[in-house]
Amino acid sequence: MLRSPFRKAALKVTPADRTHKVAGRELPLKVVENDRARRLTLRIAPGGTGLRVTVPPGLAPREIDRFLERHQNWLEERLKTLPEQALVRPGIKIPLRGMPHLIVHEPGRRGTVACSTFEGAPALIVNGDRRHLPRRIADFLKREARQDIEMLVARHTAAVGRSAKAIRYRDTRSRWGSCTSDGTLSFSWRIMMAPPAVINYLVAHEVAHLKEMNHGPRFWALCRELCPDTDRCKAWLKRNGTALQAIQFGNGQ
């Protein structure tokens, strides 16, 4: 994310959707006013699917254009490092608990997904109609997430002496997990593509919020107590999370 000072103008900017050309791509650009903003901020959506500029009220559109021009090179360099969006399909590999698995379609059987091997390598064998393959793999990851995460939640809540009101699974792009004030924990089922240590870190992070609803020193101390690998796993997710978000599961997410 980039920030920039600004000059106020009499023109009022209305939240708008535009496009912006960068690195050979025509990306959706959302311009949003925020009464609390004191400067412009620029974010790249997970997977490089779009751009978002948050602006203070009363900023002239030309200032947004100049801001984007000044940071064009930064955008191009960042987008070069992002993976191409990959639609889940036979013949590609996606990770399961950090291990790449080849997607193999075998249409002759009823629609199921199973972990197996293909030519000696880890594989996800997907049966049934080819059209439903992305949705079936997404559903498979959701089931795996419930299995692993509920076990980890039980372990970490016992350690902190708190209980979770509910556990929910979503395909959230802005965050990997969350904890509400009433104790509801939410997780992105995409985390099942990360290594087990990273999955454990995410659960420990959200469970720690049951006791510390902040990101202060006491929270991080508790998080590291629950997950000694916190710093390493946090860095892994920051470094690799965008690639997991870039994987497309079609309309069956």
The confidence band for 17, taking pLDDT boundaries of 50, 70 and 90, is low
* 47 & 159 share domain: no
Q: How many helices (H) and strands (E) does the chain have?
A: 6, 14
* 29 & 104 share domain: no
> What is the rounded distance in angstroms from the CA atom of residue 106 to the CA atom of residue 136?
13
Tell me, what amino acid is at 113?
V
Pick 11 or 17 by higher pLDDT.
17
* 74 & 119 share domain: no
* 34 & 92 share domain: no
The confidence band for 81, taking pLDDT boundaries of 50, 70 and 90, is low
**Considering 30, 58, 81, which residue would you say is the last residue of a domain?**
81
User: Which residue in this structure is represented by tokens 């629950």?
Assistant: 226
* 75 & 180 share domain: no
3-state DSSP of 78-97 = HHHHCCCCEECCCCCEEEEC
Please provide the average confidence, as pLDDT, over all residues in the chain: 87
* 19 & 97 share domain: no
The confidence band for 27, taking pLDDT boundaries of 50, 70 and 90, is confident
Can you tell me whether residue 9 is helix, strand or coil? coil
Pick 152 or 247 by higher pLDDT.
152
> What is the rounded distance in angstroms from the CA atom of residue 209 to the CA atom of residue 168?
15
The confidence band for 21, taking pLDDT boundaries of 50, 70 and 90, is confident
Predicted pLDDT of residue 54: 92
* 50 & 125 share domain: no
- Is the model's pLDDT at 9 over the cut of 60? no
Predicted pLDDT of residue 108: 80
* 101 & 192 share domain: yes
* 107 & 73 share domain: no
Strands, E assignment, the chain:
2-4, 16-22, 25-33, 40-44, 51-55, 86-87, 93-96, 99-106, 113-118, 121-127, 166-170, 177-179, 184-188, 247-248
Six-digit token pair at 27? 């990306």
* 137 & 77 share domain: no
> What is the rounded distance in angstroms from the CA atom of residue 142 to the CA atom of residue 171?
10
Q: What percent of the chain has pLDDT over 70?
A: 89
- Is the model's pLDDT at 32 over the cut of 80? yes
Predicted pLDDT of residue 1: 52
- Classify residue 193 by its DSSP letter: G
The confidence band for 7, taking pLDDT boundaries of 50, 70 and 90, is very low
* 140 & 47 share domain: no
- Residue 194 near residue 176 (C-beta atoms within 8 A): no
The CATH code of the domain that includes 199 is 3.30.2010.10
**Considering 81, 97, 118, which residue would you say is the last residue of a domain?**
81
**Considering 81, 106, 137, which residue would you say is the last residue of a domain?**
81
**What's the total number of domains in the chain?**
2
- Residue 249 near residue 135 (C-beta atoms within 8 A): yes
* 143 & 247 share domain: yes
Pick 50 or 116 by higher pLDDT.
116
Single pTM value for the model:
0.72
What count of other Cβ atoms lies within 10 Å of the Cβ of residue 169? 19
Six-digit token pair at 235? 């860095």
Could you give the count of Cα atoms lying within 13 Å of 198 in the half-sphere of its Cβ?
24
Predicted pLDDT of residue 49: 75
Cα angle vertex 204, ends 244, 140, to 5°? Answer: 40
**Domain encompassing residue 122:** 87-252
Mean pLDDT confidence for 55-66:
90
Predicted pLDDT of residue 171: 92
The confidence band for 222, taking pLDDT boundaries of 50, 70 and 90, is very high
pLDDT, tens digit, for every residue of 168-221? Answer: 999 987 789 999 999 999 999 999 999 999 999 999 999 999 999 999 999 999
- Is the model's pLDDT at 252 over the cut of 80? no
- Which residues lie across from 113 on neighbouring strands? 126
Predicted pLDDT of residue 176: 96
Pick 200 or 29 by higher pLDDT.
200
